[in-house]
Amino acid sequence: MRIDLFGDTLCAQVTAAALAQSGHRVNWYLPTGRVDQALRDQGRVLYQEPGLAELVAQQRDAGRLRCLGFNEQGDAPAPVVFLALQPGTFDQARAVVDRVAAGSACRLLVNQSTFPVGSSEKLQARLIKAGVDTPVACLPDTLQEGMALQTFTRPNHILLGCNDDAAEVLIREILRPYNRRRDVIQVMQPREAEFAKLAISGMLATRLSYMNDMALLAEALGVDIDMIRQGMGSDPRIGEAYLYAGCGFGGPGFSSDVMSLTDTLRDKRISAELLSDVLRINERQKEVLFRKFWRHFDGDVKGRRVTLWGAAFKPNTDRIDNGPALSLIEALWAQDVDVHVHDPLAMPELQRWANGHGELTCHDDPYQAVRGSDALMVVTEWKAYWSPDWDDLHAAMRTPLILDGRNIFDPDYVRGHGFDYQGIGRGQRRPARPSK
C-alpha cells in the first residue's frame, strides 16, 4: 500500500521506517528544519535510537521509503495519510488536511500527533466542511524513547481512536505485522484515545514524583528507598514500573504531555493541583545532586571541578530535552563550577545547547572526564556506567565523592572502595543482627 506520512518527530521516523519495512511504499514529508536537513542533505537520521538509523537507511536503499520536502508532491496522493507532527504545529496539520481535501485518493487520515484533546475531531470537521468524507482516526504516540523501534514493532498496547468501521479494518491491516502475538489494539473514540495517552503520561509522572518525595523522607528516617521500592512493587495493586527515585524526569514528550494535560484541566476550570505539584516536585528534583554537592562542601564550591556521567534524559537516546542534566549544569555554572561531561550519544546535542550559555568540557572517555574532579554525578543510567573500575576511578578523582542520581550503585560496596557515596533516598541501613 502507498502511504504518505507528514512530520519530523521521532514517532514519524519510527512509523515511516517500520511501515516501509513491512512492505508499504512510504513517502515521508519533512517540515523544514534540523531533521529534514540531516536526513535529506546529509543522509543521516537525527534521532539516535537502537536499530533505527540502520532501518531507515535500508528502507531508503530498497526504494520503499522516500524523503520529501513538506510541500513537495509525490507521484500520486496515497490512500492512507499519517500525521506525526510536533506539538504546537496544528497549522501544519490543517495544511495537510486541506491538501487531502483537494484530492480524491485518501481513504483514511491517521493522526499520531500529540495535540490537545479533541484535535482529531477538529481535523475531521475541517474535512467535512470541505465536502470530504475521509475518516480521521487517532493513533496516539506511545513510543518509549530509548526503545522506540521495539515499542512500535512489539507493542504491549495500541490505543486506537476510531468511530468508522471501514477505517478500523484498514488500520488493523496496516498494523497487522505488529499485532500478531495477541490483539493489543484497544478501540475507543478519538477524543478518548487522545485523553488516554495524556492520562498515561500523567500517571507515570505522578508515580515518579511520589517516589522522589518518599526518597526525601527515607533520607530523613535513615532508611533505603530501594527497600521501600521493592516492598511497594511486590504489591500487585501497585506493581514495579516507574517506582525508581532519581534526579528527575525529562524528555520532549513526557514533560509536554503532563503540561498539556494540566492546561486542559485549567481550560475546563478543573483544579490541576496534583499535576502542578508533580511538575513542581520534578523541577525541584532536577537540582537534588547540586544541593548534595553544595552541602558536602559547605557551600565552598566555586572553582571546583564536577563531572557528569550522562546528559541524555534516559539511556539509549541522544535527546536532552527538559532533562535534569540541563538544570544541574545551569546550577553549577551559577556557582562558577568547572563542568565536565561524558555521554555515549548526547554530546553533540549538549554542545549545541551549551553554545552561548556557558563553558562546558565534553569528553569521549568517562575516566578522562573524571580526572581531577571533586565530585562525580551520575545523571543517566547508561549500562556502561554500572560497573566502573573503582580503583581507576578513585585514583583519577581529586575528591572521591559519588553523587548517584539514579541509584545504580550499591552504597556499601562503593563506600568500601574509599568513596563518599550519596544516592537518592539511600539512607544508612542498620547492619544485620548477627545470628546466635
CA 366 to mean position of chain CA atoms: 23
pLDDT at position 78 is 92
Residue 161 CA to residue 149 CA, distance in Å, equals 22
pLDDT of residue 429: 56
Q: Which residues contact 73 (CB under 8 A, 6 or more apart)?
A: none
Sheet of 2-6: strand order equals 65-69, 25-30, 2-6, 80-83, 108-111, 136-138, 158-161, 185-188
What's the pLDDT score for residue 390? 97
Helix (H, G, I), strand (E, B) or coil at 36: helix
Residue 40 per-residue DSSP state: I
pLDDT at 433: 52
Q: Which of 111, 128, 103, 158 is closest to 6 using CA atoms?
A: 111
| Packed helices 324-334 and 288-296: angle between N→C axes, nearest 10 degrees | 40
Cβ–Cβ under 8 Å, residues 295 and 242: no
For residue 253, what are the CA distances in angstroms to 258, 311, 396, 435? 9, 17, 37, 51
Neighbours of 250 (CB within 10 A): 23
For residues 132 and 100, the answer to whether their CB atoms sit within 8 Å is yes
d(CA 362, CA 384): 17
What pLDDT shows up at residue 74?
Answer: 79
CB 11 within 8 A of CB 145: no
- The residue behind cell 478518548 is 192
| Cell 521495539 -> residue | 150
**Residue 365: Cβ within 10 Å count:** 9
- Show Cβ contacts of residue 67 under 8 Å, excluding neighbours closer than 6 positions: 28, 30, 39, 40, 60
By the 8 A CB rule, do 275 and 206 touch?
yes
Q: What's the predicted TM-score (pTM) here?
A: 0.89
Residues 334-348: b if buried by 16+ CB within 10 A, e if exposed: ebebbbbbbbbbbbe
Phi and psi angles of residue 332, each rounded to the nearest 5 degrees, phi first: -70, -45
Q: What is the pLDDT of residue 153?
A: 96
Pick among 3.90.420.10, 3.40.50.720, 3.50.50.60, 1.10.645.10: CATH of 2-188: 3.40.50.720
Report pLDDT for 430.
Answer: 53
Cell representation of residue 145:
524513547
Closest CA to 200 of 212, 192, 210: 192
Three-state SS for 314? coil
What whole-number distance in Å separates Cα of residue 174 and Cα of residue 78? Answer: 14
Q: Are 288 and 248 in contact (CB under 8 A)?
A: yes
C-alpha gyration radius of the chain? 24
Burial 91-123 (b: 16+ CB within 10 A, else e): ebbeebbebbbeeeebebbbbbbbbbbebbbbb
Question: What was the pLDDT predicted at 76?
Answer: 80
CA–CA separation, 320 and 284 (whole Å): 18
Block means of pLDDT (10 residues each) for the chain, 436 residues, are 95 97 96 86 82 94 95 87 95 95 90 94 96 96 92 96 97 96 95 95 94 95 95 95 94 82 84 88 96 97 97 92 95 97 95 93 96 98 97 97 97 96 83 51
In CATH terms, is domain 205-422 a member of 1.10.1060.10?
Answer: no
In this prediction, residue 436 carries a pLDDT of 47
Q: Which three cell numbers stand for residue 385?
A: 556506567
CATH fold match for the domains 2-188 and 205-422: yes
Task: Indicate the domain borders of the chain.
Answer: 2-188, 205-422
CA distance 321 to 332: 18
Closest CA to 368 of 358, 380, 376: 376
* SS3 assignment, position 284: helix
The length of the chain in residues reads 436
- Do residues 173 and 22 touch, judged by C-beta distance below 8 A? no
